[in-house]
Structures are given as C-alpha cells and as structure tokens.
Amino acid sequence: MPCSRLVKNQNKASMALAESKPNLSHLQVSELVKRLFDLTPSQIHPLPSYDDQNFRLVVSEDNEYVLKVMNSEDSQNPTLLELQTHAMTFLHERGLPAQTVLHTTSGQVMSLEDIDCGFGMQKYLVRLLTYLPGTTIAKVPCSPQILYEAGKMAAKMDTVLQEMEHPQLHVLQREKFLWSLSNIPLLEPYLHLMDGDPVQQVVKSVIQLYKTCVQPKLGSFRKCINHGDFNDHNILVQPDDSTAYKISGILDFGDMSSGYYVFELAITIMYMMIENPTPLDVARDVLAGWESVIPLNEAERDALYLLVLCRFCQSLVVARHTVVQHPENKDYLMITTKTGTHHLCRLWELGKEVVERRWFQNAAQDSGLQAQEV
C-alpha cells in the first residue's frame, strides 16, 4: 500500500475511534437513567475513563451508583460486556469486593441505546453498577502491608475467576487485543509514534526478548482468566485500623482476557510501581502476597521481570496511540508515562539478575515474616 494511502487510512481510523467515545451531557444522563432504571439522580459526577464515559450518580443518601456508557466500538460486542458483568457478579457472590449490576426496568443487565453525542446517532451499551466505598490505592500511602494485600487479592481474584463457567468463555481469547500480555508483538506497528524518544530502543529490545524468551515458554505457564488491569486506580481501599488498609473494591473488568496467572502478577507489580517512592521494592511485597495464594513455578518466576517490562512498554506505546485519537484527554491518558518511562529504563539498566535478586530474596523474607505473624 502506498505510504500516503496508509497514512490517510490511519487518520480515518483514528477519527472513527475518536468519535466512538461517548460524550453525554448531564441532561442526557438524567433522562437515560430515569427511562431505563426509573431513578432520578440528585447529583451527577463525571468519573475518569480511558475510552468510555462513567458517572457517579447520587440518588439518595444511601443509594449511589456508577453509570457506565461504553464506546460505540466496544458496544458492538455485547457478548464480551455481558461476560465481564457476569464475572463481577461471580466474584461478588464468592465474597470478593466487585460491583454488581442493577437491572433495567425490563430486567436486562445492559441496554443498547441510540444516542447523539455530537457525531450523529450512534449505539452505546449502558449499564448501571453499584457504587463501592473507598478511595483508590493511588491516593493512600503505599505501605508494604497494602502492597501485600494487593498481591494477595490479585491471586485470589484469578483463582476464583478460573472456576467461572459461561457458554461464551471463548470470547475472552481476544487474539488482537493490544493490552493482553500474550500479544506484545502487536505493539510493533505503533512504535513509530515514539520516533525521536530514546526509550523507543528499549521498547524494541523488550519486544524482541519477549519473542525469544517468553513466547516459546507460554506452555509452561498456568492458564487462567485475567482481570488484566489491576492498577492503582482500579483498586479501592478503606482503613482497617489505625495503621492498615483493606481492599474494598475491584473496578473495571474491561480488559478481561484469557491469559496466565503470571500475567496478572506482572500487571499488578507494574502499576503498583508507578507512584511509589521506592519502586524497586514494590515487587517484593506484591510477590509475597501473591505467593501466599499461588506460588510461582520456575518458568513463571524466570519470566516475571521481562513481563513487568512488557507491561510498561504496552502502557507507553498504547498511551501515545490513544492520545492521537483523543488529544482532549491527554492528561488522563498519559498518567502512566509520567514516571513509567523512568521506571522502565531503570529496570532495563539494572538488568534481570540484579532486579530478581532484590525481588525474590526480599519476597522470601516477607513471606517468612507474614507466616510468623499468622
């Protein structure tokens, strides 16, 4: 394909994706909620979102909800969204702090709505979920205790999800999903967005190592269903006592996919590093919590360092790609890149052997201390 046509097609695709994000007014939200759920919100508060639109709705002093309006692209796949909603309910019923869905007045878990957000009428899937109390981990002091709890919760979540049955589980394969750690080579067509940035060479090197050191060993990893986005903005916590926190909420199942246990651990470690003042020590505590539920096997342990690097690469590359589509949302989309580039380069410069020694030896010490406390 000639270069000019390729650029033109990419621009057209970016425009289409940019127009897929919903942009409902508060009046539209109020009318929608009244019609679908027979509720009248007294307050409507926008919530941050990557490519959808979310609102916190206050109906009364004791009743708050989250309205989620999916982008028009993802709204074309209702089966995936229904499966994500089913997973949330499945976790909630087994004692994990996930949201549950409020059915429409006609008894549906979601509704496909024709809405004009400034680009003409488009179809958007709409759900109303329970509002969970707490604040995000990103907003509290990230102590070893809460990092341990995050690792433990991530492992418990994937263990429970692996028990889930559903006739459409095959939908979670998501072979072209950019955020799956199974699909790291799919980042390559977007690397030009990093032209001129020194970190581009690190990203290229990480992708090549993934191809040679991880892909051939995927068969040695234990399979599961991944939440896929267990980050510091998707985990809610509440004070447990004067010095500790407990996890009170797990949010955003939009990146769910079939994967491997070690993927979830790598994702959790990476995101817990972002705002931590001592990022190299994060994995020690997260890993100790994780292994209190699921000890790693040899192949998983050997791949963990590189998988953490891969998640940093995904975040940096996809953020740049999405900013092209949604320049008005640049500040939110580029949150991770503020420190992510520094962390990626630091881990790369230290090298696998040095980083693993710090992670695994300290994690073993943490596990011993936790056992003594119990």
Residue 158: partners with Cβ closer than 8 Å, 6 or more residues away: 224, 225, 226, 227, 261, 264, 294
> Distance between CA atoms of 353 and 39, rounded to whole angstroms?
57
Which H or E element spans position 260? strand 257-260
Q: Which stretch of DSSP H or E encloses residue 54?
A: strand 53-60
Judge whether 229 counts as a catalytic residue. yes
Which backbone phi and psi does 38 adopt, to 5 degrees? Answer: 55, 45
**Choice among 158, 229, 252, 255 that is catalytic:** 229
Contact of 283 with 363, CB cutoff 8 Å: yes
Residues with Cβ within 8 Å of residue 91, at least 6 apart in sequence: 98, 157, 160, 161, 250
Among 98, 125, 95, 83, smallest CA distance to 225 is for: 83
**Integer Cα distance of 133 and 259 in angstroms:** 29
Lookup: tokens for 315: 């975040």
Task: Round to whole Å and give the CA distance between 204 and 101.
Answer: 41
The shares of helix, strand and coil residues in the chain, as percent rounded to the nearest 5, are 55, 15, 30
| Residue 11 burial by Cβ neighbours in a 10 Å radius (0-12, 13-18, 19+) | exposed
CA distance 265 to 155: 8
Catalytically active residues are 229
